[in-house]
Homo-oligomer: A and B are copies of this chain.
Amino acid sequence: MNIEISKKFAGIKPSAVREILKTTNDPEMIAFAGGSPATEAFPCDAVRKISNEILTENAQSALVYGVSEGYEPLRRNVADWLLKYEGINSENDSIIITSGGTQVMDLAARVLLSEGDAVICEDPSFVGSLNCFRSHGCGVVGVPIDSDGMNINSLEQAVKSNKNAKAIYTIPNFQNPGGTTLSLEKRKQMYRIAKENHLVIIEDNPYGSLRVSGKNVSAIKSFDSESLVVYAGSFSKVLAPGIRVAYAAVPKQIAGAFTIAKQVSDVHTGVLNQMIVSRWLSEYDIDSHLESIRRIYRKKLDLMCSCLDEYCADFISYVRPEGGLFIWAKLDDGIDMLQYVKKLIDKKVAVVPGSAFMCNDAAKCNHIRLNFSTPSEVDIIKGVKIMADTAKQ
């Protein structure tokens, strides 16, 4: 039988990132395409020890159904985390544990958006979130980014000309793929615009703890006196992504709807997974873990930047990010970006074509996204040299 795909779904393409990631199963491929945190930063020993303790002490409790809001001790850990690291007092919010950070965007879309609504996004932005909004039949309206984040004049323009906009989606720290951090001044302006236009802000902060230089900027959620921010955080980048534990801090008035959305999505996040993260947060020295993974990221970022500066300065320009996982590299106009990406894959270097991240994916884009956290230091040097050689051919 020829099965018809739902209208809202029919237009979505698979994520180019994840499709390219499949090619990275090839062990010879140098992985500049992924979005994975550095595997050497995973606290493997702690996870093994904790998992074994939980399954020895009371395995049944880790294997039964949990509640949809999440494992209560972990919800408290998250509230503590938000206060300590992000200055967010979540008294007026509910913490809901999710299966990875993307699920926060999905739950938000379900609860807040209807088909035909629009979400104003940074352009470029994380394709997983863009596709998520699209999959709910919503439009994504792109606003260009400057080196200090979303261009505010363009944001005001976008709000004015898109009366169907219901939310602003932002990755404020070390944006994916742009690498930029939204300045405090712009965060406040964005908040004002949201408030004046009755828009929700979806603040997606998976990379916030991976700052390797510069100063922390306050989360928008930290000054959310009007309760209009849905905040998404994740342990994918500070612990490990395969464990799929993340969280939302949502205004109390929509917490009930969020919980139902979680129920109908996947009932609850894996209990063992939540218990592992909770015990890790409670019993381990997280400050020194964060310091040690930042050292790893700082070193890799510095290395990739030095290599780019040394070998690729004549055809690549970029704004050096202060953290995160990505460098958003602009190719010289003379280079055909898609051709270049294909040639690189032939030479066993996988990068993501920037067009994958554009709100309008037919828009002209001469960027590529480079990930510096996944490859080894040896591969960073080797890969960037191949990038230089390939451009010269």
Contact = CB atoms under 8 A, between A and B. Distances in A.
A237 B131 CA distance: 33
Interface stretch (A154-162, A172-180, A265-273): A265-273
Interface residues of A, number: 86
A87 interface: no
Given A3-B227, A9-B110, A99-B266, 17 more contacts: A1-B198, A1-B200, A1-B228, A7-B114, A9-B260, A21-B65, A35-B65, A42-B59, A48-B56, A48-B59, A51-B55, A63-B242, A102-B267, A131-B263, A242-B270, A243-B272, A270-B270
Interface of A: 1-9, 12-15, 18, 21-22, 34-36, 39, 42, 44-45, 47-48, 51-52, 55-56, 59-60, 62-68, 98-100, 102-103, 106, 110-115, 128, 131-132, 135, 137, 166, 195, 198, 200, 226-228, 240-244, 251, 253-254, 256-257, 259-261, 263-273
B260 A135 contact: yes
13 contacts: A6-B110, A8-B110, A14-B259, A18-B67, A48-B59, A65-B241, A65-B242, A99-B244, A100-B267, A103-B265, A114-B115, A135-B261, A244-B266
Q: A interface, by DSSP: helix, strand, loop or mixed?
A: helix
Contacts of A8: 110, 114
Contacts of A243: 63, 270-272
Q: Which 10 A-B pairs have the closest CB atoms?
A: A63-B240, A242-B271, A44-B59, A48-B55, A132-B264, A99-B266, A1-B228, A63-B242, A244-B270, A39-B60
